[in-house]
Amino acid sequence: MKKQGVLLCNLGTPDEPTTQSVRRYLGEFLHDKRVVSISRWIWCLILHGIILRTRPQKVAKLYRQIWTKEGSPLLAITQKQRKKLQNEINDRFIDQRYGKHVPVEIAMAYGNPSIADGLQALKNQGCERVIVLPLYPQYSSATTASIFDRIAKYYKNEFFVPEISYVGDYHSHPHYIHSLAQSVRKFRERHGESEKLLFSYHGVPQRFSDNGDPYEKQCRNTTALVVKELGLSEDDYAISFQSRFGKEEWVKPYTDELLTEWAKEGVESVQVISPAFSADCLETLEELAVENRDTFLENGGSEYQYIPALNDDKAHIELMLQLIEQRLLN
Ligand SMILES: C=CC1=C(C)c2cc3[nH]c(cc4nc(cc5[nH]c(cc1n2)c(C)c5CCC(=O)O)C(CCC(=O)O)=C4C)c(C)c3C=C
Ligand SMILES: [Fe+2]
Ligand SMILES: [Fe+2]
């Protein structure tokens, strides 16, 4: 029986909310061809000449607003997810079912702990089979595939490559859909209903969809499935895309524009959920919960509430466990 291990992956975050640390993180992130694919020399000129000179200071200020005692929310939440998942694996005697201890490690595509750190930790524990779970419910080449690239890069220098089982996406997994629907229901039990429910996803350039990246389609499908489970009608909800970066066209509608339109049309209350994020981070805690809230209220809306990501909720850990158990070999 092969010893098996799990690698929980996410995007990554700076080590500190300082200009220097954010510059290092953005430098690594924005050099990835999966994220920005324009001609290298043109992009390096723009990146080093403009973006890395101006953006880090601005973004570090935003990180300082969401930073916690435990560090960046994205990393702190991923660490909690790991701990709870490991406890579940131990408590349910999954180890015994699969013969040997099943360790769970975390890794980030950019920053720390890196994909190489995570794979090295599993190697040190003797894993001959690795289940990679990118915590991106919807597949995108900018996210899921960039983790795949880093895994391949790590093994280029290794003599032994373990068997790898890779979770491509889980955008329509029944337990994921149910967990999202439950999170809306529970939020509404506590805070009451809003006029509109907005499903705001991190966007990608329109070019991605045109070239066959299934991300947008999967976001739309997740929304349709959650809406069906909640029994909402067309007027009750909408889908939108946030976090645009750069000058090209991104998939539409844009979250900030839709919120402005709604507020101007007289929509008074909105609740926003962001299903592409498995952990709250800068894009939800600052952009969605603060910036977009201001946009809605400044344009005439009166109530705006953000529904937190699934984070380390019991149902989310259960979903991860199901995704892993489907892939563990006896
Ligand atoms: C959830 C899926 C994500 C997709 C798809 C995605 C695509 C994508 N992102 C950028 C550029 C930036 N994203 C940034 C932050 C960020 N992005 C995601 C997730 C997805 N990105 C997360 C979880 C985070 C938050 C990280 C944190 O530390 O909290 C940033 C950094 C912040 C900033 O400078 O604004 C950039 C830049 C592109 C270009 C892209 C698709 C091509
Ligand atoms: Fe460069
Ligand atoms: Fe992003």
Percent of the chain at pLDDT > 70 equals 100
pTM: 0.97
- 34-72 pLDDT, tens digit per residue, is 999 999 999 999 999 999 999 999 999 999 999 999 999
The residues pairing with 273 across neighbouring beta strands, listed in sequence order, are 199, 307
Q: Does residue 234 contact residue 192 with C-beta atoms inside 8 Å? A: no
- How close is the Cα of 329 to the center of ligand 1, in Å? 34
35 lines ligand 1 (CB under 6 A): yes
The answer as to whether 330 is a domain residue is no
- Tell me, what's the ipTM? 0.95
Do 255 and 149 lie in one domain? The reply is: no
Quick check: is 244 in a domain? yes
The domain of 30 spans 4-170+314-325
Taking Cα atoms as reference points, which of 269, 255, 280 lies closest to residue 192?
Answer: 269
Determine the Cα–Cα distance for residues 317 and 173; give it in Å rounded to an integer: 14
Residues 15 and 157 in one domain: yes
Chain centroid to Cα 312, Å, comes to 13
Q: For 68-81, what is the mean pLDDT? A: 98
Q: Are residues 74 and 216 in the same domain?
A: no
Give 311's pLDDT tier (boundaries 50, 70, 90).
very high
User: 101 and 129: one domain?
Assistant: yes
Which residues sit in the known binding site for Fe(2+)?
202, 283
Q: Is residue 237 assigned to a domain? A: yes
Same domain, 289 and 259: yes
Paired tokens of 27: 């430098």
- Closest-CA residue, ligand 1 atom 24, reads 283
Query: What three-state secondary structure class fits 32?
Result: coil
Residues 196 and 55 in one domain: no
Centroid of ligand 1 to alpha carbon of 216 (angstroms): 15
Q: What is the CATH number of the domain that holds 66?
A: 3.40.50.1400
Q: Which residues surround ligand 2, an ion (CB under 5 A)?
A: 44
Residue at 16 is within a domain:
yes
Neighbours of 232 (CB within 10 A): 16
pLDDT (tens digit, 9 = 90+) per residue, 80-139?
999 999 999 998 877 777 778 899 999 999 999 999 999 999 999 999 999 999 999 999
The total domain count for the chain is 2
For a substitution probing ligand 1, which of 57, 135, 282 has the most ligand atoms within 8 Å of its CB? 282
Query: Which amino acids are annotated as binding site, given as ranges?
Result: 202, 283
How much of the chain exceeds pLDDT 90, in percent?
A: 95
The per-residue pLDDT for range 144-182, each reduced to its tens digit, is 999 999 999 999 999 999 999 999 999 999 999 999 999
What pLDDT shows up at residue 96? 72
Whether residue 202 has its Cβ less than 6 Å from ligand 1: yes
- Whose alpha carbon is nearest atom 11 of ligand 1? 245
Q: Is residue 14 part of a domain?
A: yes
